[in-house]
Amino acid sequence: MANYQTVRTAAGARTAEIDEGLRAHMNKVYGTMSVGLLVTAGVSWAIGSNDALLSIFRDPATLQPNILGWIAMFLPLGMVFLFGGAINRLSAAGAQTFFYAFAGAMGLSIAWIFKAFTDVSIAQTFLITAISFAGLSLWGYTTKKDISGWGSFLIMGVIGLVVAMIVNIFLQSPAIYFAVSILGVLIFAGLTAYDTQKIKNDYIQHAKSMDSEWLAKSAIMGALNLYLDFINLFMFLLQFLGNRE
């Protein structure tokens, strides 16, 4: 009986330790993500609100991108693939630096929104996105339902979105544009919940090893995934809620 009580006490202490570590891990994820969003907002506002800077990448009147504009548009996509391949070779500090550099590149790629939409509508859409994101992420963190099966479906949806968006750059079809915006909101809403649960489950599965380097990199990778969910959700919602200049 005494042995059973000892084992039970030890198990309870271990569970409490994991819970405390998980909270710290999630705080690291959300904190890193938030700093990334601030970097993106600062870069995009600084360039988008200054015609002289914006003209380096786009025509301030028509917002048509030049060569540098096209490079800026696809730079974040290239950096995501590079980051995924290099994460194991980078230190935790290097991975964090790369993430913030990526956030700056994303700010450069979406700077045009400050010329295309009113500041008030951008702020309102950001607030709506933040509230929606918080609710979806909280649900993904607390739900007892296993939503890991959503992953393959949602990733296929993202690939389809990217292909449709690239094709529509040349077709300029309003119908495709509208359909992509609706599907984009739904897909990244689902990914927000899915990625949150995955970050939580990955931590619990690896908590026993307590590899500090892995935990630090995992938090940065989790921050990147949630950052992408937030940014994409914001951009697709902006198509519906944003007021054009």
**Element containing residue 210 per DSSP (H, E):** none
What are the sequence ranges of the domains in the chain?
A: 2-241
What is the per-residue pLDDT across 193-231, written as a single tens digit (0 to 9) for each?
999 999 999 898 877 666 677 788 889 999 999 999 999
- In this structure, how many other beta carbons lie within 10 angstroms of the beta carbon of residue 14? 12
Give the model's pLDDT for residue 187. 95
> And the tokens for 27?
């705080």
Mean pLDDT of 172-197: 92
> And the tokens for 207?
């908590």
Sequence letter at residue 163: V
- The dihedrals phi and psi of 117, each to the nearest 5 degrees, come to -120, 155
Give the model's pLDDT for residue 210. 62
pLDDT, greater one: 134 or 87: 134
Burial class (CB in 10 A: 0-12, 13-18, 19+), 3: exposed
Give the model's pLDDT for residue 104. 97
Give the model's pLDDT for residue 4. 45
Give the model's pLDDT for residue 10. 43
Q: What is the DSSP letter of 243?
A: P
Mean pLDDT of 143-168: 91
Give the model's pLDDT for residue 102. 97
pLDDT at 12 over 50: no
The interaxial angle of helices 174-206 and 150-171, nearest 10 deg, is: 150
Instruction: Please tell me the distance from the alpha carbon of residue 189 to that of residue 183, in angstroms, as a whole number.
Output: 10
Instruction: Please tell me the distance from the alpha carbon of residue 134 to that of residue 145, in angstroms, as a whole number.
Output: 18
Which string of b and e fits 15-46 if b means at least 16 CB within 10 Å?
Answer: eeebeeebeebbebbbebbebbbebbeebbbe
Give the model's pLDDT for residue 79. 93
List 244's β-bridge partners, or say none.
117
pLDDT at 3 over 60: no
Secondary structure (H, E, C), 4-65: HHHHHHHHHHHHHHHHHHHHHHHHHHHHHHHHHHHHHHHHHHHHHCCHHHHCCCECCCCCCE
Instruction: Please tell me the distance from the alpha carbon of residue 231 to that of residue 222, in angstroms, as a whole number.
Output: 14
CA distances (Å), origin 102, targets 75, 99, 149: 9, 5, 29
Question: Half-sphere exposure of residue 119, counting CA atoms within 13 Å on the CB side?
Answer: 6
Question: 102 and 223 in contact (C-beta within 8 Å)?
Answer: no
pTM reported for the whole predicted model: 0.89
